[in-house]
């Protein structure tokens, strides 16, 4: 988590294969259909179950979720959102 507070540190990790599993990138995904904090909670819960995702933050106003992704296929994330009744963006 601290890694993302220091740009220099994040960059240097990329050049060290041994630290690869600590390497993460922040992703954003649009989500249609969220209307209240319960929707937000449902999306957060669904994504927290996926190993490799962390720092999950849903923005209701923007209709999107931001997360740190350590190697999870985008399609898998979209499927988890569809499964609970929301419409993920591309
Ligand atoms: Cu709701």
- Tens-place pLDDT, residues 40-78: 999 999 999 999 999 999 999 999 999 999 999 999 999
Q: Give me the CATH topology for the region 23-88.
A: Alpha-Beta Plaits (3.30.70)
Find the 70 Cα to ligand 1 centroid distance in Å.
28
CA distance 63 to 52: 22
Using pLDDT thresholds of 50, 70 and 90, give the confidence band for residue 16. very low
**Residue 36: which of 67, 66, 61, 65 has the closest Cα?**
61
Find the 60 Cα to ligand 1 centroid distance in Å.
10
Find the 80 Cα to ligand 1 centroid distance in Å.
17
Find the 39 Cα to ligand 1 centroid distance in Å.
4
**Residue 67: which of 46, 39, 36 has the closest Cα?**
46
Mean residue pLDDT across the chain? 84
Report strand pairing: 25-32 vs 53-59: unpaired
Find the 10 Cα to ligand 1 centroid distance in Å.
35
């Amino acid at each position: 988590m601290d890694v993302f507070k220091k740009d220099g540190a994040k960059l240097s990790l990329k050049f060290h294969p041994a630290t690869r599993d600590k390497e993460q990138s922040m992703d954003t995904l649009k989500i249609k259909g969220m209307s209240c904090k319960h929707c937000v909670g449902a999306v957060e819960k669904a994504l927290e179950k996926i190993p490799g995702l962390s720092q999950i933050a849903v923005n209701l106003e923007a209709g999107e979720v931001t997360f740190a992704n350590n190697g999870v296929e985008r399609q898998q994330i979209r499927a988890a959102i569809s499964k609970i009744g929301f419409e993920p963006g591309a």
